[in-house]
Structures are given as C-alpha cells and as structure tokens.
Amino acid sequence: MVYDICALTGQRVFEKQSILIPSLRETITSRNTDFYVCQTSVYEKICTIKNYRGFHVIRDPRDIITSGYFSHLYSHKTDGWNSLYQHRQQLKKVSKDEGILKEIEFSSYFIDHIMDWNYNDPDILEIKMEDLIVNTKVELIRILNHLNLFDENQPYGLLEYKIIELINRLLRKTVHKNMPVKLNSKIVSSIVEKNTFEKMTGGRKVSKENVKSHYRKGISGDWKNHFKEIHLNFFENTYPGLIEKLGYEIGQTPN
C-alpha cells in the first residue's frame, strides 16, 4: 500500500533497514528521498532525519515471534543473511515448542529496537497493526492525514493518478508542485482493495493457513494458538515489561 501511495502521489521511495545504514540522514539526503520505508526502525537513527513526518506500526511482539518462527523456518529468503540460514537449520532439528524459544532469542535483533523506541514523538503517528487489519481504510486515511497526503475534496480519480504516475516515471522525478499530490477516499479504497490478504495470496481467505507462505494466515493474536506458559515466561524474562509498554494485555496462559 505504501508503494502504491508513493507511486500515485509522485514520491520517491527508498526502503532499507535502518540498522544496516551507518548514516541514515546522509543516505536519505544523497538519494533525494521523499518517503523512507523501514521494517526494523532504530529511533536514534530515525530522529537524525530533519523536517519529517512519519508513522510507526506497532505489532504485538508475541505475534512477531509466532510469525517469525514460521517464516524463518519455511519462507523467508536467507540470501545474504547467514545468521538466518544457521537459525533455520536449528529450527529444523527441534520441536515447535523448542523452536519458539529459539525464535524468542533470535528475534532480539528486532525486538530490542521496539523496547528502545520513543512512543511520544509528535512527528510520528503510532498505529497498531491490529487496528490496520480490522479497519484498514480508516487507519490508512489517518496515516495519510498525518502525512498531509489526504484531501477528501481532491476531484481526481484513479485514471488521473495513473497518468501522473506515468509522467513521473518518464521524467524520473517527483510531480510538479502544481500537480495533485493528495489522495481522496475513493483512491484509498482502491489501494486497500488491491492489497487485501486474499488478493496477495491468490484467493486464500484470511485465517486459512499456509505455513510455507510468507503471507501465512493474515490474522492478529495467533500467538495464543502457539505460545505455552514456558514461552510466555521466557518472553517476559527476556523482554521484561514490553507487553505492558505497548499497551497489550498479558492475557491468560493459553495452554
């Protein structure tokens, strides 16, 4: 959806993990980037960018572990990521219960940055992934409003935006300042519809699981189907207080 938004509004987009970039501000400036996308955000690097507005998606870290276990076991590419390749070989040798414990340890690579994130930055809109799943269009409009990329009175339809997208590709630069750069709700609806779980999986319904697909199940709260008390205790000992910090309930021991 982000790439569709950038294409239709004429934003130059750049995506790379901030943990892999020594100087994020210099990299973004040198690439003349309008929209930076990062899957693992390091706040101390993000805040070096000047004059920006952003949004940050929060996901229940127990779901991150569950999703990570299956994708790291089956679907995630290991090219250039030797530690993941070694992790996969370990996961293949153990049971799911032991594998989830190993995944909790391995995922410190991602989750340590969740613990260190500044959740009170006024320039960064905090969004729960669970809300995005349930109310995708509403949350996407809230994001676009925060980024000043939404205008309900914008008269243009999808065809006009497609023409603008073509012009930008031909000119290899962002749209002219006098050209439309904001989306209306009709266009947002088309973006959401294009990127549904069912469309991304070739027709598979949400909650119908394919463990070997990177789009495995498409639901939130799946950790309850896989975590046991040993996993909850190990997670809390490894990342103390994180669940409460993110506003999630500890919940009952599922098994």
Model pLDDT for residues 141-166, shown as the tens digit of each residue: 999 999 999 999 987 777 877 787 77
Q: Is 209 part of any domain?
A: no
Domain extent for 155: 2-59+118-200
Alpha-carbon distance of 5 to 140, in angstroms, equals 10
Tokens representing residue 175 in the block: 């749209």
Phi, psi of 128 (to 5 degrees): -85, 130
Q: Is 244 part of any domain?
A: no
Do the beta carbons of residue 123 and residue 51 sit within 8 Å?
Answer: no
Q: Is 160 part of any domain?
A: yes
Alpha-carbon distance of 235 to 249, in angstroms, equals 14
What pLDDT sits at residue 121?
95
- Can you give the length of the chain in residues? 255
Tokens representing residue 196 in the block: 């549904």
SS3 247: coil
Task: Produce one character per residue of 112-128: b if its CB has 16 or more CB atoms within 10 Å, e if not.
Answer: ebbeebeeeeeebbebb
pLDDT digits over 168-205, tens only? Answer: 667 655 444 445 478 999 999 999 999 998 988 888 88
Q: Is 146 part of any domain?
A: yes
Q: Total structural domains in the chain?
A: 1
- Give the model's confidence band at 1: pLDDT under 50 very low, under 70 low, under 90 confident, else very high: very high
Alpha-carbon distance of 142 to 75, in angstroms, equals 32
Model confidence pTM above 0.85: yes
196's CB contacts (< 8 A; 6+ apart) are none
Task: Provide the percentage of residues in the chain whose pLDDT is more than 70.
Answer: 93
Q: Is 212 part of any domain?
A: no
Q: Is 140 part of any domain?
A: yes
What pLDDT sits at residue 235?
96
Q: Is 142 part of any domain?
A: yes
Alpha-carbon distance of 170 to 160, in angstroms, equals 15
Q: Is 192 part of any domain?
A: yes
Which of 86, 104, 87, 72 minimizes the C-alpha distance to 216? 72
- The neighbour count for residue 17, using CB atoms within 10 Å, is 14
